[in-house]
Amino acid sequence: MLIIPAIDLKDGFCVRLKQGKKEEVTKYSDDPVKTAQNWVNEGAELIHIVDLDGAFTGTQKNLESIKQIRKNVSVAIELGGGIRDIDTISKLIALGIDRIIIGTAAITNPEFLRKACEQYPGKILTGIDAKDGKVAVKGWQEITEKNAIDLAKEAELAGTHSIIYTDIARDGMLSGPNIEATKKIVESLSIPVIASGGISSMNDIENLTKIKKLFGAITGKAIYSGAIELREAINKTRDRK
């Protein structure tokens, strides 16, 4: 299982939100590049970046920080946050971003998701953020009636490379991941699933490794706060990918 450090960008800073609420923000660093380099030095093979301003507005607001991170780290980068048209995807891939995460648009514009997967095979991930099994959109500001598993299956049919599943009730709370919901998503699909939200300890990571075929887990607040040492987590899960 791959351990994936998260870098959430807001106004050019590395931050974490509590349950995705933009008014509940904690700033961890004013140097996103240094943060990314630190995670690579700790053994990260993939970095998960979210442009939070993009998620809330639909337009990338942290492009310069993203460019600088890409220039200064050699590992793969996946990026999400407000990516809602093919032109934006093309520009980001031209910048060297390895994989693009489509979130809100996967539910509001499924044809866009299908076209993106067709044009950039293997490079499109679908981010599914859910609360009580229902999909959240627009930076988690709206909860829809769409079932998360149904959307995951539709995304798989559209050709998405993998699913990033986030339980937003737990994200940034250090309350432990939603093992049951994550397991259901994994068992419903044949494509890779990455878990996100609530990881607070090595015990949580150990519990996630018990989900057969779970590809990876994203951790943010736990590594920023020191609750988890990234190198230790990577080393303990390296042989379970």
Q: Return the active site residues.
A: 8, 129
Considering the domain 2-240, what is its CATH architecture? Answer: Alpha-Beta Barrel (3.20)
From CA 107, how far away is CA 125, in angstroms rounded? Answer: 13
Phi, psi at 175, each rounded to 5° = -105, 5
- The answer to whether 83 and 102 have CB atoms below 8 angstroms apart is yes
Structure token digits, residue 62: 């942290």
The reported pLDDT for the residue numbered 173 is 56
Could you list the mean pLDDT of each consecutive 10-residue stretch along the chain, which spans 241 residues? 95 73 70 96 97 80 93 97 94 97 92 98 96 81 89 98 88 73 96 94 95 96 93 86 47
The reported pLDDT for the residue numbered 167 is 85
Structure token digits, residue 13: 């800073």
Residue that is written with structure tokens 């599943």 in the block: 165
Q: Which residues contact 206 (CB under 8 A, 6 or more apart)?
A: 236
Residue that is written with structure tokens 């140097």 in the block: 31
- CB environment 13-51: b (16+ within 10 A), e (fewer): bbbbbeebebeebeebeeebbebbeebbebbbebbbbbb
